[in-house]
C-alpha cells in the first residue's frame, strides 16, 4: 500500500476512533437509560456484554489499523466487527459512522487500484456535500439553524434586526454553496476554490458547535476536522483525480448505488435521511415522550425538559428525545418514523407505568401527531 493511501486510512481510523470513544455510551447497553433499539426484534436478546465486547474489539481494530493500515485481514475483520456492532442499535447509524464504514469498504475492494480507490472516496465526499446542501433548502433550516442557531445564538443578531434587514432568506446561500462545493469536487478542474470554500464551511461549523457546549463538542467537530484533512489531502495533490469511469467500475457499483442513487430517494421518503447526508437540516422529525407518572422514571430527571413553549405535553413531564440522546449518548436520535415506533415499544417495556404519550413533529410544528 502506498504511503498516501496509508495516510488516508490512518486519518479515517484516527477520527473514527475518537468519535467512538467520545460517544462510548452509544456503543454499550449496560448502565444506559436511553433504550437500545435494534432494527429487528431477535437482536434485542443479545446480552449487554456482547455490545461492550464489540466496542472493545472495534477500538482495538481501529488502533491496530493506525499501526498496520496495509493489513487486509485486519481491515476486513474490523469492518465486520463494526457492522455487527451497528446492527445491535439503530442509534449507531450516524452519518459519520456510515461514511467511515464505506471508506474502509472502499479500501478493501479497491486495494490494488489507486485510481478507483481515490475516485470512490471523492465521490462519497462530494455526495455528502451535495445531498446535505439540497436537504437544507427548506424553511426549517432557515428558522431553526440559520435564524436561531447562527444569527441569534452564535452571532448575537436580534430577531428584530433579522426582520429589519431581511436576513432570513440570506441563509439559503449556505446550502447552495455547500451543494455547489460538492459538484465542484467532481466537475471543476481547478479545485482550489471549492476546496477552500468547503474548508471554511467546516471551520465555521466547528466554531458554531463549540459555542453550544460540551454535548455538541463530542463527535461532530471531530468529523468536520476529518473532512478538512481529507479535502487538504485530496485536492492539494494533483495525483488524486476523480473519474466517473472509476465509479461505474464493477468494484464501486455498490458505492455509486448507496451514495449516488439511494440518497435521492430520501426526498420522497423512500430512503432514510441519515443515510442520505441529511444532518442539521432543520426539517427532521422529532419525538417527545410526555409522562404523566414520573415515579417509575425518577432517575431521568436530568433529561426532563423544563420548558414546553408549544405545550406539546399539556403540562406533563417532557422527555425530548433530541435532548435526551445528545446529553446521555452524545449523538442525535435516528429521525425516522419506523425508528420512533420501535423506540416506543422498547421504552414501554423498559419503563412500564409511566402513562407516556409519544408526540412526533417537525417544522413548522403544526404537523404533529400522537404515535400509536
The answer to whether position 103 is within a domain reads no
The answer to whether position 312 is within a domain reads yes
Asked if 258 and 309 sit in the same domain, the reply is no
Last residue of a domain, one of 25, 58, 93: 93
The answer to whether position 104 is within a domain reads no
Asked if 42 and 166 sit in the same domain, the reply is no
Q: Which residues pair with 289 in a beta bridge?
A: 319, 358
What pLDDT does residue 216 have?
A: 56
pTM above 0.85, yes or no: yes
Asked if 128 and 147 sit in the same domain, the reply is yes
* Residue pLDDT tens, the chain, 372 long: 778 889 999 999 999 999 999 999 999 999 999 999 999 999 999 999 999 999 999 999 999 999 999 999 999 999 999 999 999 999 999 999 999 999 999 999 998 888 899 999 999 999 999 999 999 999 999 999 999 999 999 999 999 998 888 899 999 999 999 999 999 999 887 788 899 999 999 999 999 988 877 555 578 889 999 999 999 887 766 556 788 889 988 889 999 999 999 999 999 999 999 999 998 899 999 999 999 999 999 999 999 998 888 888 988 999 999 999 999 999 999 999 999 999 999 999 999 999 999 999 998 877 789 998
What's the number of domains the chain is made of? Answer: 3
Asked if 204 and 301 sit in the same domain, the reply is no
What pLDDT does residue 237 have?
A: 63
Last residue of a domain, one of 214, 247, 282: 282
Q: Round to whole Å and give the CA distance between 54 and 75.
A: 15
Domain ranges, residue 326: 286-370
Q: Which sign does the torsion angle of CA 156, 193, 136, 8 carry?
A: negative
The answer to whether position 102 is within a domain reads no
What pLDDT does residue 223 have?
A: 94
Contact between residue 85 and residue 46 where contact means Cβ atoms under 8 Å apart: no
Q: Round to whole Å and give the CA distance between 172 and 135.
A: 11
Contact between residue 242 and residue 122 where contact means Cβ atoms under 8 Å apart: yes
The answer to whether position 99 is within a domain reads no
Last residue of a domain, one of 240, 257, 282: 282
The answer to whether position 7 is within a domain reads yes
The answer to whether position 106 is within a domain reads no
What backbone torsions phi and psi does residue 304 show, to the nearest 5 degrees?
-70, 140
The answer to whether position 237 is within a domain reads yes
What pLDDT does residue 344 have?
A: 98
CA distances 56 to 22, 94, 256, Å, are 14, 19, 32
Asked if 169 and 292 sit in the same domain, the reply is no
Classify residue 362 as left (phi > 0), alpha (psi -120 to 50) or beta: beta
What pLDDT does residue 243 have?
A: 86
Asked if 169 and 227 sit in the same domain, the reply is yes
Asked if 117 and 261 sit in the same domain, the reply is yes
Q: Round to whole Å and give the CA distance between 231 and 119.
A: 13
Asked if 316 and 351 sit in the same domain, the reply is yes
Q: Round to whole Å and give the CA distance between 77 and 64.
A: 11
What pLDDT does residue 131 have?
A: 98
Q: Round to whole Å and give the CA distance between 24 and 101.
A: 17
Asked if 125 and 185 sit in the same domain, the reply is yes
Asked if 22 and 46 sit in the same domain, the reply is yes
Q: Round to whole Å and give the CA distance between 134 and 273.
A: 12
What pLDDT does residue 231 have?
A: 92
Asked if 244 and 357 sit in the same domain, the reply is no
Asked if 26 and 139 sit in the same domain, the reply is no
Amino acid at each position: 500500500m502506498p504511503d498516501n493511501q496509508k495516510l488516508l486510512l490512518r486519518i479515517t481510523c484516527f477520527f473514527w476512533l475518537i468519535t467512538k470513544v467520545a460517544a462510548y455510551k452509544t456503543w454499550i447497553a449496560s448502565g444506559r437509560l436511553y433504550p437500545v433499539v435494534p432494527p429487528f426484534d431477535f437482536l434485542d436478546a443479545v446480552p449487554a456484554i456482547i455490545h461492550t465486547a464489540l466496542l472493545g474489539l472495534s477500538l482495538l481494530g481501529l488502533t491496530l489499523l493506525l499501526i498496520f493500515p496495509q493489513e487486509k485481514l485486519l481491515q476486513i475483520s474490523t469492518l465486520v466487527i463494526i457492522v455487527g456492532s451497528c446492527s445491535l442499535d439503530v442509534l449507531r447509524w450516524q452519518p459519520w459512522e456510515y461514511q467511515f464504514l464505506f471508506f474502509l469498504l472502499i479500501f478493501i475492494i479497491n486495494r490494488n487500484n489507486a485510481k478507483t480507490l481515490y475516485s470512490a472516496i471523492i465521490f462519497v465526499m462530494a455526495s455528502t456535500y451535495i445531498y446535505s446542501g439540497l436537504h437544507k433548502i427548506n424553511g426549517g433550516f432557515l428558522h431553526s439553524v440559520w435564524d436561531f442557531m447562527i444569527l441569534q445564538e452564535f452571532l448575537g443578531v436580534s430577531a428584530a434586526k433579522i426582520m429589519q434587514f431581511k436576513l432570513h432568506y440570506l441563509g439559503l446561500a449556505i446550502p447552495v454553496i455547500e451543494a455547489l462545493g460538492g459538484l465542484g469536487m467532481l466537475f471543476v478542474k481547478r479545485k482550489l476554490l471549492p476546496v477552500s470554500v468547503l474548508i471554511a464551511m467546516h471551520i465555521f461549523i466547528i466554531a458554531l458547535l463549540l459555542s453550544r457546549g460540551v454535548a455538541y463538542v463530542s463527535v461532530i467537530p471531530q468529523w468536520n476536522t476529518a473532512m478538512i484533512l481529507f479535502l487538504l489531502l485530496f485536492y492539494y495533490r494533483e495525483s488524486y483525480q476523480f473519474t466517473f469511469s472509476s465509479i461505474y467500475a464493477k468494484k464501486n457499483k455498490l458505492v455509486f448505488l448507496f451514495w449516488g442513487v439511494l440518497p435521492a430517494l430520501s426526498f420522497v421518503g423512500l430512503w432514510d435521511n441519515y443515510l442520505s447526508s441529511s444532518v442539521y437540516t432543520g426539517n427532521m422529525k422529532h419525538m417527545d415522550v410526555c409522562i404523566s407518572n414520573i415515579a417509575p422514571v425518577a432517575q431521568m430527571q436530568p433529561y426532563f425538559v423544563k420548558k414546553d413553549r408549544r405545550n406539546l405535553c399539556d403540562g406533563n413531564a417532557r422527555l425530548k428525545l433530541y435532548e435526551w440522546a445528545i446529553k446521555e449518548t452524545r449523538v442525535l436520535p435516528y429521525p425516522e418514523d419506523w425508528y420512533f415506533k420501535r423506540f416506543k415499544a422498547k421504552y414501554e417495556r423498559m419503563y412500564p407505568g409511566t402513562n407516556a404519550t409519544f408526540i412526533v413533529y417537525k417544522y413548522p410544528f403544526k404537523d404533529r401527531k400522537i404515535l400509536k
